[in-house]
Structures are given as C-alpha cells and as structure tokens.
Amino acid sequence: MSALVAGTRQVSAGPELQVDLDAVAANTRRFVRTARGEVMAVVKADGFGHGLAAVTATALANGATWIGVTSIAEAVAVRESGVDAPVLSWLNRVDADVSAAWRHGIDLSVPSLEHLAAIEHPGRPVRVHLQLDTGMARDGAAPDTWLALMAAARRAEVAGRVRVVGVMGHLARADEPGNPANAGGRQAMLRGVEMARQAGLRPSVRHLAATSATLTDPGTHLDLVRIGAGLVGIDPSGTTRLCPALRLTAPVVQVRRVTAGTGVGYGHTHVTERATTLALLPVGYADGLRRAVSGRAEVLLAGRRRPVVGMVSMDQAVVDVGDDPVVPGVEAVVFGPGDDGEPTVDDWARWAGTIAHEIVTGIGPRVGRCVR
Ligand SMILES: *Cc1c(COP(=O)(O)O)cnc(C)c1O
C-alpha cells in the first residue's frame, strides 16, 4: 500500500475500510451472555460487509456455536475457512447443489415441499431445518402448507433421506418492540413446532429471534438466536448501545480555493455563498457513499465536521473546509464509531434515507480493507 504523508501521519492512497474485530468480539460476548439459548453468527453478505472469515472466526472464538448464511456457496466458504461448528444455509433454489452441502456437512433449510423432494443423497441423512413463514410472506413455507410439509418431512426422515434437526421462523417487525405482530409471530412459531411434534418429528433446535428480538424479547429466544447486525454493532431496535466495528477513511487528494458563487460538481446543485476552500476525496457512490446523501452528509476532517457539498459522484466527493488550512494527504473520516466526533454509520443511513445494514453491506470492492 503506498502512502501520502500528512504531517507525521501515514495514510493510505485511497479510501480504506478498517474492521475492528475487538468490537465484533465484544458484541458477540454480549449476545452469548444474554441469550437464553445458543448463538448463531449470521455472516451472510460477507459478514455484513465486515469480512466472512474474520467475523466467523471472531464470533466462534467468543462463544457463538453456530454459523448461518444464505447460500450453500457461502456455507462451503465458511467450512473451507476451517470451521467445524454447525453451519446452516437457508436461501437456495430447489435444484441447489445438495451434494456440496452434504459433502461439507452443511444444514439446509426446507421452505417448501419442492425443496424437500429435491434433497436426496446416497449417504447419511441430510440435516434440515423446516423453515416456516411466521408472518412475513417472504421466505419460509406458507402456514397452509405446514401440515403437508411436516408429514412429508417425517416420511423422508423414516426413509433415511433427511434428519429434521430444526424448525425456524422469522419476525417481520421485531425492531418495533411490543408490536402485536411479534406476539403473533411467536405464537405461529410455537404452533409450527407443536405441529412438527405431532407429525412425529423431534427438532431439537427451535429458532426465531434475530438481533432485535434477542435484545428486546427473551420469550423469542427458544433454543438458538440468529445474530447478524448485532455482531457488527447495529441494533435495529434502537434499545441497546453495541460496538460499531467499521471505520471508513479517505485522504484529501486535492485542495482548491474558490470564490463566492462557484457551482460545485454535477448540476451545480451547490453554489458557494462565500470564498472558501474545497477539499476533494477519492470516494464516491461506487464505494458506498450513497448519492442520496448529497446536500446532507458530513465527514470529520482536520478536527471538525465538514459538509460534503454538491452531488456525490461515482468516484469522488467534495468537502467544504472553509478557511482552514487543509492540505492534500490529510485523512477524512467518513464514518466510524463516533468516539472522536466523526459521523456514524447510523448518520449515513439517516442521510441516505435507509438503514445501517444497507450502508455496511454497500461498501464497494475497490475500497482497501484493513482488519485489526
Ligand atoms: C439476516 C437474517 C438474520 C439476521 O438478522 P439480524 O437482524 O441482522 O440479526 C436472521 N435470520 C434470517 C432468516 C435472516 O435472513
């Protein structure tokens, strides 16, 4: 990595994303301490943009006992990083590569009769989790299909094709503690578990809660909680202070003095009101700075919050530093934990009209990564 010199500080040549694994460790321990059941680390989407292998290893070293991902390919990547813990994959096509899952000892969710019928392997039974739609109309089996699904799962179990180790549901509105939809989802889950028992199944791992429900509603914990956002410091329920794990920086690459009335960037959406200094950052919407933040966002630069002015471009953004003597090479903090006054991921989410999850999973591939 080449470096520009800013005072005595070495900064990277381009934008850099620093991942703080101590924060992931602290968050993991918090969930392990407070969950009534075991903790599954959900590391889909490259560990919520924090790095699949790094988040997986950190979570397991700090008390998580399961790993959860969407695709079989991600699950295989987890196994190949040397993980022995149970790994569950829950979003696959009917014709997904079941033999890869079987070879790597990966648990599969079963969201439909068609998925169940396609799970066949000439060897020990495939471990499956019946995935029930407990009130989202998204993934999982619709309630009017549960009875047939459970009867078929029992037949497949008797035939030695599968072993039903789990039943899983998911809550649509867990980030609104006390919303009646949550009690409804929990009741649906328990009804599904009871139905499975009556079909002769003996699932030992019932799981419903993700981050929000785990933080706000112990009645949803059951045997296992699935934690994704919370591991990386995001609390969608807004009830708990977790440890944010990302810091995004970019060096100033150019500085220019402009007069009052200067139009800045595409469309001249910002026009300077007085003579000022503009600093250029080599980071844009291809790197995860959402264009929608234009006119609202700030960065921490030379000790103060400064406005990002004009439209965020694909590769660059302009910051107004007033009359301060900012020089090329100085590092701007786009977001971080907030301890030094820098904006947080939550700030960027608010400016962009979205949620923190979308910001952390949206950092582009050309941003340098640094895991510590
Ligand atoms: C992503 C996901 C999770 C993790 O949710 P968080 O709120 O990020 O903890 C849990 N369960 C399912 C089914 C998911 O898709």
- State the pLDDT at residue 7: 38
- Averaged pLDDT of the chain: 96
CA of 263 to the centre of ligand 1 (A): 44
pLDDT of residue 3: 34
Ligand 1 touching residue 352 (CB < 6 A): no
Q: What architecture is domain 21-232?
A: Alpha-Beta Barrel (3.20)
Per-residue pLDDT band for 1 (boundaries 50, 70, 90) equals: very low
CA distance 151 to 229: 35
Question: Tens of pLDDT along 105-115?
Answer: 999 999 999 99
Distance 230 CA to ligand 1 centre (A): 10
Q: Would the CB of 211 count as within 6 Å of ligand 1?
A: yes
Confidence check: pLDDT of 333 > 80: yes
Q: Would you say the CB of residue 227 lies under 6 angstroms from ligand 1?
A: yes
Residue 205: pLDDT band (50, 70, 90) is very high
Taking 80 as the threshold, does the pLDDT of residue 349 lie above it?
yes
At 6, the pLDDT band (50, 70, 90 cuts) reads very low
Mean pLDDT for 299-320 is: 98
What is the pLDDT, as a whole number, of residue 120?
Answer: 87
Please choose from 34, 39, 42, 108 the residue to mutate so as to test ligand 1's pocket, defined by most ligand atoms within 8 A of CB. Answer: 42
Would you say residue 4 has pLDDT above 90? no
Cβ of residue 42 lying under 6 Å from some atom of ligand 1 = yes
226 lines ligand 1 (CB under 6 A): yes
Ligand 1 atom at minimum distance from 211 CA? 9
Q: Give me the CATH code for the 245-371 domain, please.
A: 2.40.37.10
pLDDT-derived band at 9, boundaries 50, 70, 90: very low
Residue 161 has pLDDT above 60, yes or no: yes
Span 115-137, average pLDDT: 95
Handedness of CA 280, 46, 345, 245 (dihedral sign): negative
Instruction: Give the per-residue pLDDT at 12.
Output: 63
Question: Residue 236 CA: which ligand 1 atom is closest?
Answer: 7
Segment 162-187, tens digit of pLDDT: 999 999 999 999 999 999 999 999 99
- 278 CA to centre of ligand 1 in angstroms: 41
Cβ atoms 332, 250 nearer than 8 A: yes
**Residue 2 pLDDT > 60, yes or no?**
no
Kindly give the number of the ligand 1 atom that is closest to the alpha carbon of 226.
10
Report the predicted TM-score, pTM, of the whole model to 2 decimal places: 0.95
CB 275 within 8 A of CB 260: yes
Indicate the pLDDT class of residue 13, thresholds 50, 70 and 90.
confident
Q: Are 210 and 174 in contact (CB under 8 A)?
A: yes
Cα of 359 vs centre of ligand 1, distance in Å, is 16
Q: Is the CB of 170 under 6 A from ligand 1?
A: yes
Delimiting residues of CATH 2.40.37.10 domain(s) in the chain: 245-371
Q: What pLDDT does residue 121 have?
A: 86
pLDDT at 220 over 50: yes
What pLDDT is attached to residue 147? 98
Helix boundaries (H) for 63-137? 72-80, 98-103, 113-118
Centroid of ligand 1 to alpha carbon of 227 (angstroms): 6
Residues of the chain with CATH 3.20.20.10: 21-232
How crowded is residue 278: how many other Cβ atoms within 10 Å of its Cβ? 22
Residue nearest to atom 4 of ligand 1 (CA): 228
- Ligand 1 atom closest to the Cα of residue 234 is 8
Across 192-218, average pLDDT: 98
Q: Examine the pLDDT at 308 and tell me if it is beyond 60.
A: yes
Most ligand 1 atoms within 8 A of CB, residue of 91, 136, 217, 226 to mutate = 226
Active site residues: 44, 266
Which residues are within 8 A (CB) of 93 and not within 5 positions of it... i.e. 6 or more apart?
none
Q: Ligand 1 centre from 255 Cα, in Å?
A: 43
Atom 15 in ligand 1: which residue has the minimum CA distance?
A: 70
Cα separation, 1 vs 70, whole angstroms? 33
Amino acid identity, residue 256?
R
